[in-house]
Amino acid sequence: MGRLFLIDLEENFYSCKNCETPIALVNHLLSMNYECPFGRAYLFDKVVNVLDGERDEPIPESNSTMVHLFCVQCQYTVGFKFVRRAVLESQRSKIILIRCFLTPSFGGTTKESLSLQG
């Protein structure tokens, strides 16, 4: 596998649970309470260090398809995005990261204390 965009995120961020590659900044978090078929999830407007899955899976009775997202480093599934057709470019996709596949990295705060929140 080729491309590797590892960037140094100095702010608070979420990383891949498997290899701890930074995946998303807290600043890009839109919702912490998104429910998806895989359980509790976070909704982001932007993510980094992920690869799109090869296949779009149509969602029945909707104008959308679903694309799986993988960690660029370890290819672990971290979430997916909904891609809507025939709408403005800026509204086209929703990026959903599945909570149980992420590790929060918030400054000096420990994972243990974060797991008690929300």
Those residues whose C-beta lies under 8 Å from the C-beta of residue 105, and which sit 6 or more positions away, are 12, 13, 14, 15, 20, 22
Q: Does 74 bind Zn ion (CB under 5 A)?
A: yes
100 φ/ψ angles, rounded to the nearest 5 degrees? -75, -5
Q: Does 5 bind Zn ion (CB under 5 A)?
A: no
- Mark 33-72 with x for binding to Zn ion (rule: CB under 5 A) and - for no binding: --------------------------------------x-
Contact by Cβ (8 Å): 96, 3: no
Which helix (H) or strand (E) element contains residue 112? Answer: helix 111-114
Q: Does 77 bind Zn ion (CB under 5 A)?
A: no
Q: Does 83 bind Zn ion (CB under 5 A)?
A: no
Q: Does 105 bind Zn ion (CB under 5 A)?
A: no
Residues interacting with Zn ion, by CB under 5 A? 16, 18-19, 21, 71, 73-74, 76
